[in-house]
């Protein structure tokens, strides 16, 4: 029976059979030989997710001083039911991600259709022909108990399988550059032994041909600066040996704007891996701190956002104070402290734990419960309450729903028998909540709502006018502002329209 992969837009793509896969190998070989004759290096990006697909286009867009392409990119994605659809979408010159950054569709069209320096594939032949493999496959942390991140762990099995695939296929001289956020110790204690083992099975002498492995984490910011955050931003890197470091530096200098944003080379991949998870643990802790103060502010009639603005005027020490919100989502801040804590115990076998970092995850994971409490201040009984949640992505102007705090909010509301409707201009399909229909019709979503929750600060929502919202709703709904999305002037209008308003971090209503 033929299997299909369903795209977020609802199009079915037939998953290729063995005959098509055999033909695909020949196509890859033919393309590679042609590109090598033109002087291009061959890069395969493993994983066409939110980072990998855009990173692939950035590599494919790199040029020398005479504006000649430097690399051809094979974007490799497994032919799974969940993800195969990305391959034909990319090969049509369109991005498999939805973002407000206009450069995203432009760079896909430019590299795939105009320059023809990138093509997506499902075949492992892409690894066999590569000079460099950039690893962007997903690695997550499991948190088996809500609000108890200390019980979290990292399941490396799928990641190991992906690395073992590389060990079976890559050339001995191929550089493996890991961009995936991994627990400290992964490159040296997990990747290197796996690839060495596979090399030995293939008869490759690992003393004369040691695996070339480097780590360089990205600081991608999906949203309005999606592409820029990959190409025009500081990078940290290291390698398991000197040759790996040299190859990694040369590659990154070719692809990224390292003149304006110089590279930072650390002593080991352990250090580079730690830098990423510590960096995000710092941000997670910063946000967790603001929630404590936001609750305090609400109780004493203070607007925490105005306090924050006053504090941030102290440049160099306090201008990076973050803000409270519905909660923390995305792929990094929700898991990186857990990866580090797990690594400490399971990879390095060190007693102790990263208590402050883990506690920040617990605070942030449970943050949506505070928004529920704000609703209960007006509606103590949530049963049959109609709640419209505006925004289900984890970040403004983006269609990424991974670990979205809206998921926790909706689950809690559903458990209390509230009737929840959702809206998001960027989300086509909510994979983590397949039973939830995400509407693009604002009127349909908020019509008859008792509560309207501004969960995410999409630009579209910031333009909402209170009079129009009340008109579309047909009621005088409770407005919940999760992160200063409704300014003081609009709050005054809502109150004049007899709509109650509650907000995270604001005690002025």
Please indicate, yes or no, if residue 356 is contained in any of the structural domains. Answer: no
Q: What SS3 class is residue 422?
A: strand
Instruction: State whether 151 and 229 are in the same domain.
Output: yes
Instruction: State whether 204 and 73 are in the same domain.
Output: yes
Angle 194-199-205 (CA atoms, 0-180°, nearest 5)?
Answer: 125
CA distances from 39 to 27, 36, 194, 426 (A): 19, 5, 32, 39
The residue among 105, 162, 137, 122 whose CA lies nearest residue 13 is 122
Cα–Cα distance measured from residue 290 to residue 505, given in angstroms and rounded to the nearest whole number = 9
Instruction: State whether 403 and 305 are in the same domain.
Output: yes
* pLDDT for 144: 92
Q: Quick one: which H or E segment has residue 4? A: strand 4-6
* pLDDT for 290: 94
Cα–Cα distance measured from residue 199 to residue 215, given in angstroms and rounded to the nearest whole number = 20
End residue of a domain, out of 269, 298, 315: 269
The answer to whether residue 1 scores a pLDDT higher than 80 is no
| pLDDT tens column, 463-507 | 999 999 999 999 999 999 999 999 999 999 999 999 999 999 998
Tokens of 361: 């995850």
Q: What SS3 class is residue 332?
A: coil
Q: What SS3 class is residue 215?
A: strand
Q: Quick one: which H or E segment has residue 435? A: none
Tokens of 389: 């949640």
Please indicate, yes or no, if residue 106 is contained in any of the structural domains. Answer: yes
Instruction: Give the residue, 179 or 140, on which the prediction is more confident.
Output: 179
| pLDDT tens column, 224-255 | 889 999 999 999 999 999 999 999 999 999 99
Please indicate, yes or no, if residue 348 is contained in any of the structural domains. Answer: no
Instruction: State whether 143 and 255 are in the same domain.
Output: yes
Cα–Cα distance measured from residue 395 to residue 485, given in angstroms and rounded to the nearest whole number = 13
Range of the domain at 482: 289-327+367-503
Count of domains observed in the chain: 2
Instruction: State whether 319 and 215 are in the same domain.
Output: no
Please indicate, yes or no, if residue 212 is contained in any of the structural domains. Answer: yes
Please indicate, yes or no, if residue 336 is contained in any of the structural domains. Answer: no
Instruction: State whether 183 and 315 are in the same domain.
Output: no
pTM: 0.91
Of the chain, the percentage scoring pLDDT greater than 70 comes to 99
| Region 133-156 average pLDDT | 92
Cα–Cα distance measured from residue 426 to residue 432, given in angstroms and rounded to the nearest whole number = 15
Q: Quick one: which H or E segment has residue 54? A: helix 52-60
* pLDDT for 21: 96
Please indicate, yes or no, if residue 362 is contained in any of the structural domains. Answer: no
Contact 397, 406 (CB under 8 A): no
The answer to whether residue 508 scores a pLDDT higher than 80 is no
Cα–Cα distance measured from residue 128 to residue 126, given in angstroms and rounded to the nearest whole number = 6
The answer to whether residue 114 scores a pLDDT higher than 90 is yes
Q: What SS3 class is residue 85?
A: coil
pLDDT-derived band at 509, boundaries 50, 70, 90: low
The residue among 217, 177, 194, 230 whose CA lies nearest residue 46 is 177
**CATH number assigned to the domain comprising residue 147:** 3.40.50.720
Instruction: State whether 218 and 300 are in the same domain.
Output: no
pLDDT-derived band at 207, boundaries 50, 70, 90: very high
pLDDT-derived band at 2, boundaries 50, 70, 90: low
| pLDDT tens column, 398-442 | 888 989 999 999 999 999 999 999 999 999 889 889 889 999 999
Cα–Cα distance measured from residue 350 to residue 291, given in angstroms and rounded to the nearest whole number = 31
Q: What SS3 class is residue 400?
A: coil
* pLDDT for 220: 85
* pLDDT for 99: 85
Instruction: State whether 189 and 315 are in the same domain.
Output: no
Say if strands 132-135 and 41-46 run parallel, antiparallel, or are unpaired: parallel
| pLDDT tens column, 162-206 | 999 999 999 999 999 999 999 999 999 999 999 999 999 999 999
Instruction: State whether 256 and 318 are in the same domain.
Output: no
The residue among 210, 222, 216, 217 whose CA lies nearest residue 239 is 216
Please indicate, yes or no, if residue 342 is contained in any of the structural domains. Answer: no
Please indicate, yes or no, if residue 197 is contained in any of the structural domains. Answer: yes
Cα–Cα distance measured from residue 238 to residue 249, given in angstroms and rounded to the nearest whole number = 9
pLDDT-derived band at 359, boundaries 50, 70, 90: very high
Contact 240, 188 (CB under 8 A): yes
Instruction: State whether 301 and 258 are in the same domain.
Output: no
Helices (H), 129-268: 157-169, 186, 192-201, 226-231, 242-255
The residue among 64, 66, 71, 62 whose CA lies nearest residue 40 is 71
Instruction: State whether 419 and 489 are in the same domain.
Output: yes
* pLDDT for 275: 98
């Amino acid at each position: 029976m033929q299997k299909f992969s369903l795209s977020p837009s609802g199009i079915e793509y037939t998953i290729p059979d063995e005959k098509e896969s055999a033909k695909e190998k020949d196509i890859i070989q033919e393309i590679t030989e042609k590109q090598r004759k033109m002087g291009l290096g061959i890069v395969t990006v493993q994983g066409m997710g939110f980072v990998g697909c855009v990173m692939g286009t950035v590599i494919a867009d790199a040029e020398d001083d005479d504006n000649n392409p430097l690399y051809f990119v094979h974007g490799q994605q497994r032919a799974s039911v969940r993800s195969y659809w990305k391959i034909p979408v990319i090969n049509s010159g369109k991005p498999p991600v939805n973002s407000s950054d206009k450069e995203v569709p432009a760079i896909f069209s430019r590299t795939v259709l105009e320059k023809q320096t990138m093509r997506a594939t499902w075949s492992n032949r892409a690894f066999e022909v590569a000079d460099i493999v950039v690893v962007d496959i997903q690695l997550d942390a499991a948190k088996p108990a809500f609000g108890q991140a200390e019980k979290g762990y990292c399941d490396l099995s799928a990641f190991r399988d992906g690395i073992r695939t590389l060990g079976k296929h890559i050339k001995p001289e191929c550089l493996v550059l890991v961009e995936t956020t991994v627990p400290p110790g992964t490159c040296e204690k997990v990747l290197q032994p796996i690839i060495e083992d596979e090399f030995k099975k293939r008869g490759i002498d690992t003393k004369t041909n040691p695996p070339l492995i480097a780590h360089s984490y990205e600081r991608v910011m999906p949203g309005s600066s999606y592409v820029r955050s990959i190409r025009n931003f500081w990078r940290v890197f290291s390698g398991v040996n000197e040759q790996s470091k040299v190859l990694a530096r040369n590659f990154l200098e070719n692809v990224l704007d390292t003149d304006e944003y110089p590279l930072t080379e650390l002593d080991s991949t352990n250090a580079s891996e730690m830098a990423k998870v510590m960096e995000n643990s710092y941000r997670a802790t910063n946000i967790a701190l603001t929630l404590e103060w936001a609750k305090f502010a609400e109780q004493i009639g203070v607007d925490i956002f105005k306090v924050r603005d006053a504090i941030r005027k102290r440049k160099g020490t306090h201008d990076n104070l973050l803000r409270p919100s519905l909660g923390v989502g995305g792929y990094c801040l929700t898991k990186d402290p857990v990866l580090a804590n797990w690594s400490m115990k399971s990879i390095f076998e060190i007693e102790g734990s990263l208590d402050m970092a883990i506690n920040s995850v617990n605070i942030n994971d449970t943050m949506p419960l505070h928004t529920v409490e704000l609703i209960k201040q007006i509606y103590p009984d949530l049963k049959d309450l109609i709640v419209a949640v505006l925004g289900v992505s984890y970040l403004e102007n983006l269609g990424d729903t991974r670990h979205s705090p809206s998921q926790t909010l909706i689950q809690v509301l559903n458990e209390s028998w509230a009737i929840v409707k959702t809206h998001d201009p960027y989300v086509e399909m909510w994979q983590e909540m397949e039973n939830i229909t995400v509407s693009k019709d604002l009127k349909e979503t908020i019509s008859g709502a008792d509560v309207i929750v501004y969960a995410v600060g999409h630009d579209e929502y910031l333009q909402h006018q209170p009079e129009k919202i009340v008109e579309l709703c047909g009621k005088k709904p409770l407005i919940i502002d999760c992160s200063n999305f409704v300014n003081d002037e609009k709050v005054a209008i809502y109150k004049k329209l007899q709509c109650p308003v509650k907000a995270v971090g604001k005690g002025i209503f």
